[in-house]
Amino acid sequence: MAEKALTVQPVKTKKDLERFIEFPYTLYKKILKNQYWVPPLKISEKEIVDRRKFPFFLHAEMQEFIALKDRTVVGRIAIIIDRQYQKYREKDTAYFGFFECIPDRETAFLLFATASDYAKSRNIKKIIGPISPTTNHILGTLQNDFEGVPMIQVPYNPAYYLEFYDEYGFVKEKDHLAFIVRKGELQLSDKIKRVVSLVRRNKRIQIRNVNMNDFANEVLIAKEIYNQAWIENSDFVPWTDEEFAYLANDLKLVIVPELTFFAFVDGKPAGVSIAFNNFNEIFKTMNGRLFPFGIFKLLFGKKKIKSFRLAIMGVLEEYRWMGVDALFVLETYEHGERLGYESCEMSLILEDNHILVNMLEKWGSKPYRTYRVYAKKI
């Protein structure tokens, strides 16, 4: 019997796009039988590739590809050209993202080669990723702890992907770290307690929870802080107004208001800290489907969630010496304990964010997962 032919083709039709979106569900559940991957909601997966709905595409373009053996999808990848990234970071650079593949080296390499050839045809000289589809969404490849369920909006992948990247010639661009703190584990020395106490007594500093009754204006404050506080991070691209408005709708559904804070210094916005409920505890039982019964799992399961993710935390540069970041972490931890949460993940933290990394390590937390963004000159 003749061996099935392996090909990679661009996504052109609605049917192609459906197969592109559907492949991870087949790969992890049917082929790999992986118990740790959490199926994202398909309605969300469709939205982030929808050029009409997702405002990222006001300044970006994307070409998806699927790998086929005979007529069966065995892999996927995309090339994303973000003009915002090229404006603020690196010219002649594009993202690759949405990479998923069966455990087959030939398939992975053909996907990489096809994506690279497409990028070169668009005058791209370097690709970085996986970034799916933006630096403000799913990014990185899990490097360790593959036998653990990921937190919400954090990537998961099988270990064999690392071999594919290394063997094809990808190199490390940047690592992002995840720290875990479980109930009762935070270690505060007497010195740290005194420092935090001084910060709390500093009358110049005010900290408060997000006001969900004035959410539209809160979003404007968050955007102002976010785009200034992260600007020096190597992979950060400022949000546009349209993107932040879109994000706000999602945030309203997933944030924990009691664990989401604003800091003000002398009445001026100085920092923001945002925690997400770990809806992956519920999503893992839904197989990506919101209807007909998934909506009830979300509504009734929310109160049973036992973990959360401190996903966004930033302080404007002129206030970083004042201990606002330490106050954010401690307030989040203490409030989380009172609310009955059992664990908190702080991610994704750039490896060269030495101030925050050192602080967390001094407080007894260690990075337990690493997520790598790769790069390759083409």
Q: How far apart are CA 265 and CA 255, in angstroms?
A: 24
C-alpha distances in angstroms, 68 versus 4, 107, 108, 368? 9, 9, 11, 36
Q: Which helix (H) or strand (E) holds 61?
A: strand 60-69
Q: How far is CA 9 from CA 15, 118, 136, 168, in A?
A: 13, 11, 28, 20
Average pLDDT, the chain: 92
> How confident is the model over 50-66, as pLDDT tens digits?
999 999 999 999 999 99
The pLDDT-based confidence of 293 (bands split at 50, 70, 90) is low
Is the pLDDT at 18 greater than 70? The verdict is: yes
Fold of 180-370: Aminopeptidase (3.40.630)
Q: Residue 3 has what pLDDT?
A: 64
Distances (CA, A) of 262 to 253, 278, 308: 18, 21, 18
Cβ-contact 311, 347 below 8 angstroms = yes
Interval 200-258: pLDDT, tens:
999 999 999 999 999 989 988 998 998 898 877 777 788 888 988 888 888 888 999 99
Q: Which two tokens stand for residue 328?
A: 């954010």
pLDDT tens column, 264-292: 999 999 999 999 999 999 888 877 776 55
- DSSP label at 347? E
- For residues 112 and 335, the answer to whether their CB atoms sit within 8 Å is no
Q: Where in the chain is the domain with CATH 3.40.630.30?
A: 6-175, 180-370
Range scoring the smallest mean pLDDT among 11-15, 264-268, 298-302, 340-344: 298-302
Positions of E strands within 137-257: 138-139, 141-142, 171-182, 205-209
Q: Would you say 313 and 331 are in contact if contact means Cβ atoms under 8 Å apart?
A: no
Q: Output 333 or 2, whichever has higher pLDDT.
A: 333
238 and 231 Cβ atoms separated by less than 8 Å: yes
Question: What does the pLDDT read at residue 306?
Answer: 95
Give me the CATH code for the 6-175 domain, please.
3.40.630.30
pLDDT score for 238: 84
Q: How confident is the model at residue 81 (pLDDT cuts 50, 70, 90)?
A: very high
pLDDT > 90? residue 143: yes
| Residues 26 and 99 sit within 8 Å (Cβ to Cβ) | no
pLDDT beyond 70 at 296:
no
pTM of whole model > 0.85? yes
pLDDT at position 208: 96
